[in-house]
Amino acid sequence: MNLWDCPVITLGENGKAIERNCIIEATDGCWHINVTDKAEFGTINTGAGMFPSRWLRATTQCSEKGRWLKVNSCMTEKVMQLSSSTLWSYFGIYTTESHIELDVSFAHLPSYLPCDPAPVQCASTLSVRPINNSTTVLALLHPDIHQMIERALKLNPISAVVLEGSSFWVSIDGMSSIPLIIDHCPVERFVDTQSCEICILPVTSIAKLPPLRAQSGTGTSEEIKNCMVKLAQQDGVHIFGLSGPIRISKAIVQDACAAIGISTLPFPIEDPTKIVSLPFHVIWVLTLNRTSRHAYSLLRKVSLYESKSPCAVMVLYDGVFDDSFMKVITRTWKVPIEDLACAVDADGTVCFDTVMANSALSLSNIESISPAAAMKKVRKQMSCSESSRIPQVLWENVAGLDFAKKTLIETFQTCLFENHRIPSQLGRRCGILFFGPPGTGKTLLAKAVATEFNLSFLSIKGPELLDVYVGESEAHIRDVFARAKACRPCVLFFDELDSIAVARGKDGDAGGITDRLVSQLVTEIDALTWDENGSGVFLIGATNRPDLLDPSLLRPGRFDKRLYLGIPQTSMEQAAILRASSTSYLLGVDVDFDALAKTLPKTLSPADLASICHTSMKVALGKVVKRARETKSSLLADQTVSVGFDDLIEAAILVRPSISATQLDSIYKGAQLGASEVIN
Ligand SMILES: Nc1ncnc2c1ncn2[C@@H]1O[C@H](COP(=O)(O)OP(=O)(O)OP(=O)(O)O)[C@@H](O)[C@H]1O
């Protein structure tokens, strides 16, 4: 039976139709898509948790971005808001001004297929149809991954393949939940699907997968390998790996018919044939530079679902914000990319008049915004991964630390706006080290800097870079700096710096890994410092053990400015942190943080104080639940719990200081050793 031989459902505004595997209701402008028990098409990972997709409610909602669907899981009561392209991935739902089209992308699994297609009637506001008769699309894409890929404009060509060819699309993310996805999305079953002619298996962030070593026979890599091998045994199956640097293990793809790796990292891989023995194409989808703009004729051929935004253009322009480009972008950020594309001539200049001549938008639709605002919008959209997004921590979320904030503002203002005045021969200093006890806001402050200066934030935890294999750790460091340069201007934040930058020549360093790491780190930092064009990468390091750091890192030009973030010494400071940590809670009228702070010991770190607020919420919630049990009343899901002063007092008793006085002393003293500039 043709899997796609399913009926087209069209519904009236208030109609109700029962399809073979889903019930779709439309009432009061709300669409309820309730997938019945036949449709066990695995689960959808919403990012908010896994829930069976059989019970979903979707309601249309208008926003400035156009029509959105709000999909609500009745199981978890968690709501996720999906863009139209993500919806397409999940449900094959396209939204337009006047109607929603729902492609039954989950209907291809044989077990769900009813024997008897029963077309359903009604007027045309919602239609359910397959993309075409032979297309089999299974879209199981994590919304975050989707957004990430979508932003980086990498998936569009692949989407196009899915749309245009007979294809079968499964996505696996190397970064997270692979076993989860494999467990819940029955990859094995896809293999049996007879209608699968081409298989596209974008394996995102493959670099994050544990590499398959000769000895290892299990693990996620192995699972993926098995899936790929099985898929590859199908006639005409092609496997596309979408990844960071191609570190796909040879074993993973050796049986595949073809593997195409797409990388965004700007350093060339060595001989690909050493990695796979197959015909191997490497397509570099880097941000295009001026000379390679012709490539975007290619982009124009593909369907850019949600990418009709300046972000696409910015990607094409390699982040080069010249005057002409800024002029266009500030005036035309609403213009679809195709129209902007027409306006770029062979030598890469953008002509605003051509944009207007080719654009369907009238001048009245052109919104002028300031360059700064345009940059902000565009850069926000450009951030290509969760780890390099501009964070959302404002100065006011960081209580106290006024002196540190002031120093940071001055330093960053100089680095960002005055750096060009400093002769390049003097080097551009860009490193700051935060040190202090655990939980004193080092990460928070670094994020606030990135937010306030509109910089992407790339956070690296020292131990993540360590690898037991010779040369791998250094490669990770090169990788990190390359990523940072790719998303500059950015803050490159090294958390737990002491784990990778301990003083060289120490005993116990097996194989001299840390020595080599420090040397590599120093080399990369120096390359930034002496970058003639100004690197646009701002380094912030954080450590609890500054005394362990290699002195070479603290030299001028590297992490030469040091900020001590200590624990709050006065009740006023403590109260400010309590206030900042409880902004998301509903507080009782009796709450008095100043009075509470006066009762607290002065050895509590900001994290301890934040913990008092979190614990007080638990205490308050516990009381509400207890009351509900006693009165045998039910607890309403939307019942808000307010935190009272008593709850805070109770929580304060429960929370103990996490740092001892001697620890505090040793951290501070340690930092004085060899320090050229310590600000506290
Ligand atoms: N100045 C502050 N204002 C408000 N909240 C703070 C402040 N400092 C810390 N916090 C709270 O403490 C938590 C932990 O802070 P953060 O992760 O920045 O500490 P850290 O110094 O990086 O810790 P570690 O050294 O263990 O990595 C934050 O999530 C926040 O809730």
Here the CATH number for the domain that contains residue 606 is: 1.10.8.60
**Nearest atom of ligand 1 to the alpha carbon of 445:** 18
User: What does 574-603 look like in DSSP terms, one character per residue?
Assistant: HHHHHHHHTTTSEE-TT--HHHHHHHS-TT
Do 546 and 612 share a domain, yes or no? no
Do 523 and 582 share a domain, yes or no? no
Q: Give the Cα separation of 16 and 26 in Å (integer).
A: 6
Residue 49 is assigned to a structural domain of this protein: no
Q: Give the Cα separation of 442 and 333 in Å (integer).
A: 36
Sheet holding 561-564, edge to edge: 456-461, 490-495, 537-543, 431-435, 561-564, 678-679
Do 612 and 554 share a domain, yes or no? no
Give the pLDDT confidence score for residue 409 in this predicted structure.
83
Give the pLDDT confidence score for residue 492 in this predicted structure.
87
Centre of ligand 1 to C-alpha 581, Å, is: 10
Centre of ligand 1 to C-alpha 179, Å, is: 32
Do 496 and 629 share a domain, yes or no? no
Q: What is the 3-state secondary structure (H, E, C) of 117-138?
A: CCCCCCCCCEEECCCCCCCCCC
Statement: the pTM of the whole predicted model exceeds 0.80: no
Residue 508 is assigned to a structural domain of this protein: yes
Give the pLDDT confidence score for residue 423 in this predicted structure.
60
Q: What does residue 72 show for φ and ψ, rounded to 5 degrees?
A: -125, 125
> Using a 6 Å cutoff on CB, does residue 441 contact ligand 1?
yes
Residue 360 is assigned to a structural domain of this protein: no
β-bridge mates for residue 648, sequence order? none
Do 508 and 577 share a domain, yes or no? no
Structure letter (DSSP) for residue 211 = P
Centre of ligand 1 to C-alpha 612, Å, is: 13
Tokens coding 585: 């809670």
| Domain-terminating residue out of 502, 531, 564 | 564
Residue 128 is assigned to a structural domain of this protein: no
Do 399 and 500 share a domain, yes or no? yes
Residue 513 is assigned to a structural domain of this protein: yes
Q: Give the Cα separation of 603 and 81 in Å (integer).
A: 42
Give the pLDDT confidence score for residue 470 in this predicted structure.
66
> Using a 6 Å cutoff on CB, does residue 606 contact ligand 1?
yes
Here the CATH number for the domain that contains residue 466 is: 3.40.50.300
Residue 631 is assigned to a structural domain of this protein: yes
Centre of ligand 1 to C-alpha 441, Å, is: 3
Residue 279 is assigned to a structural domain of this protein: no
Give the pLDDT confidence score for residue 48 in this predicted structure.
23
| Domain-terminating residue out of 521, 538, 564 | 564
Max Cα-Cα span within the chain: 80
Residue 329 is assigned to a structural domain of this protein: no
Q: Is 286 exposed, middle or buried (CB count within 10 Å of its CB: 0-12, 13-18, 19+)?
A: middle
Pocket test for ligand 1, best of 440, 459, 578, 663 (most atoms within 8 A of CB): 440
| Domain-terminating residue out of 535, 564, 593 | 564
SS3 458: strand
Do 559 and 576 share a domain, yes or no? no
Do 497 and 409 share a domain, yes or no? yes
Centre of ligand 1 to C-alpha 444, Å, is: 6
Q: Could you tell me the mean pLDDT of each successive run of 10 residues in the chain, 680 residues long?
A: 25 31 35 34 26 32 34 30 38 36 29 26 24 25 30 30 30 31 32 36 41 38 50 42 33 35 35 36 33 31 30 33 42 44 44 49 42 47 46 81 83 69 60 86 88 79 71 77 72 85 64 76 80 71 84 80 84 88 83 86 86 86 79 64 85 80 65 43
**Nearest atom of ligand 1 to the alpha carbon of 447:** 18
Considering its fold, how many domains does the chain have in total?
3
Do 550 and 576 share a domain, yes or no? no
Name the residue with the closest Cα to ligand 1, atom 11: 607
Give the pLDDT confidence score for residue 480 in this predicted structure.
80
Pocket test for ligand 1, best of 435, 443, 572 (most atoms within 8 A of CB): 443
Could you tell me how many residues make up the chain?
680
Do 546 and 595 share a domain, yes or no? no
Give the pLDDT confidence score for residue 426 in this predicted structure.
56
Do 488 and 636 share a domain, yes or no? no
**Nearest atom of ligand 1 to the alpha carbon of 568:** 1
Do 413 and 493 share a domain, yes or no? yes
Q: Give the Cα separation of 291 and 155 in Å (integer).
A: 23
> Using a 6 Å cutoff on CB, does residue 401 contact ligand 1?
yes
Name the residue range of residue 441's domain. 395-564
Centre of ligand 1 to C-alpha 442, Å, is: 6
Name the residue with the closest Cα to ligand 1, atom 18: 441
> Using a 6 Å cutoff on CB, does residue 544 contact ligand 1?
yes
> Using a 6 Å cutoff on CB, does residue 391 contact ligand 1?
no
